[in-house]
Structure 1
Amino acid sequence: MASTTVSALPRPGLRGSKRLLSVRDDDHLVARTRAGEVAAFEVLYERHVPGVLSFSRHMLGSRDEAEDAVQQAFASAHRDLLARDREIDFKPWIYTIARNRCLSMLRARHEHLPDDRERATAGLDAEVQSRADLRELVADLQDLPEDQRAALLLSEVGDLSHAQIADILECKVGQVKGLVH
């Protein structure tokens, strides 16, 4: 009697596969990505790119640069998932990669973003720009130290827990609580 393995079974088309995968949790999608299923990583990308892009845009102050940072972060994440078989919590992990990429881009500029309030508002939608209170908030956010700005953005935009933020910023949960409040 011949046994049939899962890998020997035909896989559904990409469209059906993505639809089925979209209801799975990140851990399952990471495992499927490591097994070579491109659609699984596409679902991870589609699920997390809005938040990571928003976070990166606020870190960099430029939508174009944020899009570059996000693409590079997800490409790096995909390569790492295929190359290494270590346990990860995908959401905080992808935010860590994006944060590191943003910091590299900021260093490459040879300028400090907190002094550039106009750039912070340039990438925002026209409707958002018209609201003076939001501009003021963005300006105030840019005045914060880098770690506090990152902690607030990860908490509010990324919807990450204090423990996840502590992992990303490589500090203690108590420090994150102080940064966020």
Structure 2
Amino acid sequence: MAGGAYRVGETALLAVVEEAEPVVGRWRRRFDASASAGVPAHVTVLVPFLDSGRIDAGVIGELRAVIGGHRPFSVRFDGCGRFPDALYLAPTPEQPFRALTEAVVARWPEAPPYGGQFTEVVPHLTVAHGQQEQVFDEVEGELAGRLPVTAEVAAVGLFVSDGERWHQRGEFPLLG
């Protein structure tokens, strides 16, 4: 999740990584607009998900079942990676994130990851977005001495945009 203007009622399924916040929070607040819009450090499972008006008790129950079918897992962020417009922490393993995304998309094919923008979805935790290369270099250099970050992923949160800020509206535990 990155960018600026958010659509009212847009939703996202995010694996929040609280353990990363002390390491990346300062950089995210400066260089990732989603942080100042209320989004915690996370690895995206699916954005956009269904419009908030479509999320009813039935969808909540199905999300609970789909996400709950996956086991909690440990993840480690050893280093950074880059997209043309973003610097991110790369998770190891990444497969459990891919499996979550694939399971949700299999159930709701009308909600492809990132609106179908990318042919391959790469699990990542964005630290900086839309900055000059030298900013990415500086941030990556600063992060190098603070990694690795290890975390337990035990739930996926449902976040909803009010047009300016994101708010968590639900949490679905990984039960396996």
Same-fold status (TM-score > 0.5): no
The two structures have a TM-score, normalised by structure 1, of 0.26
Whichever of the two has the greater Rg, that structure is 1
Judging by fraction of residues, say which structure has more helix.
1
Judging by fraction of residues, say which structure has more strand.
2
The two structures have a TM-score, normalised by structure 2, of 0.26
